[in-house]
A and B are shown apart, each in its own frame.
Chain A
Amino acid sequence: MGIERSEIEKLATLSRIAIDEGTISDVARRLDSVLQLVDQLQAADTTGIDTMAHPMQAIQRLRDDRVSELNQRDALQAIAPAVEDGLFLVPKVIE
Chain B
Amino acid sequence: MSHRGWETVIGLEVHVQLATKTKIFSGASTAFGAEPNTQACAIDLAMPGTLPVLNKQAVNYAIMFGLAIDAEIARESAFERKNYFYPDLPKGYQTTQLEKPIVGRGNVEIQLADGSKKSIRIHHAHLEEDAGKSLHEGNFSSNFSGIDLNRAGTPLIEIVSEPDMRNAEEAVAFAKKLHSIVTSIGICDGEMSQGSMRFDVNVSVRPHGTTELGTRTETKNLNSFKFMEEAIAREVERQIDLIEDGGKVIQETRLYNGDTKVARSMRSKEEANDYRYFPCPDLLPVIVSEETIAELRRTLPELPDARQARFVAQYELSDYDAGILSSDAATAHYFETVVSHSNNAKLTANWIMGELSARLNSQDLSVAKSPVSAEQLAGLIARISDSSISGKMAKDVFDGMWAGQGSADDIIEARGLKQVSDSGALEKIVADVLAANPAMVEDYINSDESKRGKKLGGFMGKIMQASKGQANPQQVNQLLLQKLNTLL
Contact = CB atoms under 8 A, between A and B. Distances in A.
A85 B143 contact: no
B287 A85 contact: no
A72 B283 CA distance: 25
Interface in B137-164: 138-140, 142-149
Given A60-B286, A68-B27, A93-B87, A85 B146 contact: yes
Interface of B: 20-22, 26-29, 35-43, 45, 47, 53-59, 76, 78, 83, 85-87, 99-100, 134-136, 138-140, 142-149, 255, 266-267, 271, 274, 276, 279, 281, 283-287
A53 B100 contact: yes
A67 interface: yes
Contacts of A69: 22, 26-29, 41-43
B37 A60 contact: no
Interface in A64-94: 64-69, 71-73, 76-77, 82, 84-94
The 5 closest A-B pairs by CB, nearest first: A68-B27, A87-B146, A53-B78, A65-B57, A69-B41
A59 B39 contact: no
A92 B56 contact: no
Classify the secondary structure of A's interface with B: loop
Contacts of A16: 85
B180 to A, nearest CB: 24
Contacts of A93: 86-87, 134, 145
Contacts, number: 146
Interface of A: 10, 13-14, 16, 51, 53-54, 56, 58-69, 71-73, 76-77, 82, 84-95
Nearest to A85: B139
Contacts of A56: 284
B28 A84 contact: no
A60 B24 CA distance: 13
Contacts of A76: 37, 40-42, 45, 47
Contacts of A65: 20-22, 55-58
A56 B282 CA distance: 11
A68 B37 contact: no
Contact of B284 (A10, A14, A58, A67): A58
A86 B53 contact: no
B21 A66 contact: yes
28 contacts: A10-B274, A51-B99, A54-B78, A59-B287, A60-B54, A60-B286, A61-B53, A61-B54, A63-B55, A65-B55, A67-B27, A67-B28, A68-B27, A69-B22, A73-B38, A84-B146, A86-B35, A86-B37, A87-B37, A87-B138, A87-B146, A87-B147, A88-B87, A90-B145, A93-B134, A94-B145, A95-B255, A95-B267
A92 B27 contact: no
A42 B28 CA distance: 42
B40 A92 contact: no
A60 B283 CA distance: 7
A58 B276 CA distance: 25
Contacts of A86: 35-38, 148
Contacts of A87: 36-37, 135, 138, 140, 146-148
B40 A59 contact: no
A89 B144 contact: yes
